[in-house]
Structures are given as C-alpha cells and as structure tokens.
Structure 1
Amino acid sequence: MPWYLEALLSIPLGLLLGNFTEWWFHRFVLHGWGKKPGKLWSFHFHEHHRNARKHNFYDPCYRRFPLGWHAQGKEAWALLITSLLVSPLVFFAPWLTATLWYCALNYYLTHKKSHDRPDWARQHLAWHYDHHMGPNPHSNWCVTKPWFDWVFGTREYYVGSEREQQDQTRRQRSTAATA
C-alpha cells in the first residue's frame, strides 16, 4: 500500500482509537476502579476531582513535577507506559503508532492546560469543564474531543445552562460570605 494511503487511513483511525481509549479509561478505570479509596487509580476521583471542585476547575497539583508518584505523575506515567507498549507497532503501522503517540502527548498537554487555565477550558473544552463542574461527574468522559461521549450518549451539557448560572451565583455568595 502506498505510504499516503496508509497515512490517510491510519491517522483518522489513530485519532478515533485515541479518543475511544481516553473515554474508556476515564469511565471504567478512573471512575470505576478509581472510586475505591487507596487504590492505584483513586487519585483521579479523590484528589483531582476534589481539587477541581474546590478551586473552580483549577488544579494546583499540575504545578508539581510531572513524573512523580502523585495524581498528575500517575497520569503522565500511564500515558508514557502506554506509548511505550504500542511502540512495536511502529514497524507494521508507523502512521497509526505516531498518531497514538500524538494522542497521548496531546491528552496530557491539553488536560494540564485546561486545569491551569479554567477560563480557557470552559471556552475550548466545555465537555471536560462539564465533567468536573457540572452536576454529574459520571458523564463527559472525553478530554480532548467529545467524540465518544456523543457516540455513547454520555455527553451532558452544563456550560451556559441555567444550572451553571445558579451554581456560579451560589459559589460567589459563598466566597463573599467567607471573605
């Protein structure tokens, strides 16, 4: 097969596989096994979600070294190890492998940026903002693109809703009362 046809097929397939993987891992690992305190993946639900709620989507833990044994480090290690595990595919499907590596790097950088810059996330990653700030943290599993939330019907809208406005008003009143 000519390289350009392989690229034409492999890149979209890799983007879809990457997005499906983030949806599946977030739903079944981070919110499945990770709901149990003290487990390897519990950092996500018990630290990351707590921080996002406490700091209005901002997570100060993204300021730590990315490869430590903490929430953001475990996220980075999982992406790095997964990227290494798919590396042998480079000999059979180089475009697919490169696309999956891109997806892993893009996931980390996008997720980090979103929790460093909540206003940017609310505007550009509303589905992820909805996951943390909306009433149902067990929806909106995708981070980079909401494709598989659409496919599986797990996309729930919050940004721009009346509920969000009520929640913002409540948080502002709470902040003013404690100041």
Structure 2
Amino acid sequence: MLGIPLGLLTANAAEWLIHKHVLHGLGRKKSSFWSFHWHEHHRASRRGGFRDEHYERPLLGWHAQSKEALVIAGATAASIPLFPVAPFFVGTLWYAGFNYYRQHKRSHLDPEWARENLPWHYDHHMGPDQDANWCVTHPFFDHVMGTRKPYAHTEREARDIERKAEREAAKRARAAKKRAPKAEIPAAA
C-alpha cells in the first residue's frame, strides 16, 4: 500500500520535471519533437484566454494533443516491468497518467473550471510568468521547488482583465468609427 503515496509523489515530481525541463526546455526549440507544447499549446492557450480548441480534435492524428497522449502512454508503459514487485505503485502511476490527461484536457476546454479547480495551471498559462507553476494536477512540487506563483484571483489578474477589456472596447470603438458613414461637407455655392 506504500506504493500509492509513492506513486502520487513520483507522478507529481515527474509532471514538474518533464514540464519544466523537457516541454519548456527542449520544447522552445522549433526543431524539437517537444516543440508542440510551447509553439502550439501555449500559443493557443494565450490566444484563447486559456482555452485550447485543439483539444476538440480526435486523438488520431499527429498534433500536440496526440503527442501529449502518446508520451503519457509511453511513460506509463515504461513502468510495466515493475508491476510484479510494486503493483500499487505502478497502478498509481497509470492512474496518474490518465488523470493528468483528463484534467489537462478538461481545463483547456473549460477555462472557468480550470481557474476555480486548477488555479496553479491557469496561472502557468495566463499569469505573467510562464516559467513557473509547472504542475498540472496538484501544485505539491511547485511548493517544494519554490515555483508556485499565484495569479488567478489576485489584484494583478483583476487589473490585467480590466486593461484587456479597455483595449477591446477601444478596438471596437475604432472599428465602429471606421464603419460609420462620413458626414458630407456641403459644396460651396
């Protein structure tokens, strides 16, 4: 039974390490296999206000979400040889892999749910520092490693939301002004 808490700790540590060093380290290089995370997923999340519409695609294909699922499946499959000696540990790793994908997908299809239930992950994408808040399912290792930086439900977020609303209102006003008919100047007699 000790395998269950050890599996949860291992999975959370793996989330932190892989997200920080692989997905953001190697992933920033466009030529890397891992670039899908930074160049597709992060871009879509920022543009969509945390929503990543790519999660609506089927897993069959070669895109960010299928690569994410493939990596999770491969990582959990790598633990199969340990099953005879540590079945609870391995079972917990399998659960953690499934749970990671399920929560990550749901969070990017329902940003308000994520903001309330996974604020640390929302903070990672929408906060000012995308090099913090590495954990997705639980922020335990972010706290341990000192990388947890709250953003959701802070004064900073409220100011950012207000500024964004002001920019969008100004943009709409400029567009309306361009569409409005110009007043004709009477011709001189």
Band of TM-score, shorter chain: over 0.9
Q: How many angstroms does 1:66 deviate by?
A: 1.9
Counterparts of 1:1-179 in structure 2, within 5 Å, are: 7=1, 9-179=2-172
Q: How many angstroms does 1:175 deviate by?
A: 2.8
CA distance in 2, matches of 1:117, 1:89: 36
Q: How many angstroms does 1:19 deviate by?
A: 0.4
Does the aligned pair in 2 maintain the 1:140–1:154 contact within 8 Å?
yes
Does the aligned pair in 2 maintain the 1:67–1:76 contact within 8 Å?
no
Larger Rg: 2
How many pairs does the alignment contain?
172
Q: Which amino acid aligns with 1:139?
A: A
Q: How many angstroms does 1:40 deviate by?
A: 0.5
Identity %: 52
Q: Larger helix proportion, structure 1 or 2?
A: 1
CA distance in 2, matches of 1:14, 1:42: 28
Cα deviation 1:46-72 (Å, max 9, x = unaligned): 111111110100000001112421111
Runs of 4+ in 1 over 2 A off after TM superposition: 173-179
Q: How many angstroms does 1:38 deviate by?
A: 2.5
CA distance in 2, matches of 1:116, 1:174: 25
Q: Which amino acid aligns with 1:126?
A: P
Cα deviation 1:69-117 (Å, max 9, x = unaligned): 1111110000011111111111111110000000000000000000000
CA distance in 1, matches of 2:142, 2:112: 22
TM (normalized to structure 1)?
0.93
**Any stretches of 5+ residues in structure 1 without a counterpart?**
1-6
TM (normalized to structure 2)?
0.88
CA distance in 1, matches of 2:36, 2:44: 11
Q: How many angstroms does 1:156 deviate by?
A: 0.4
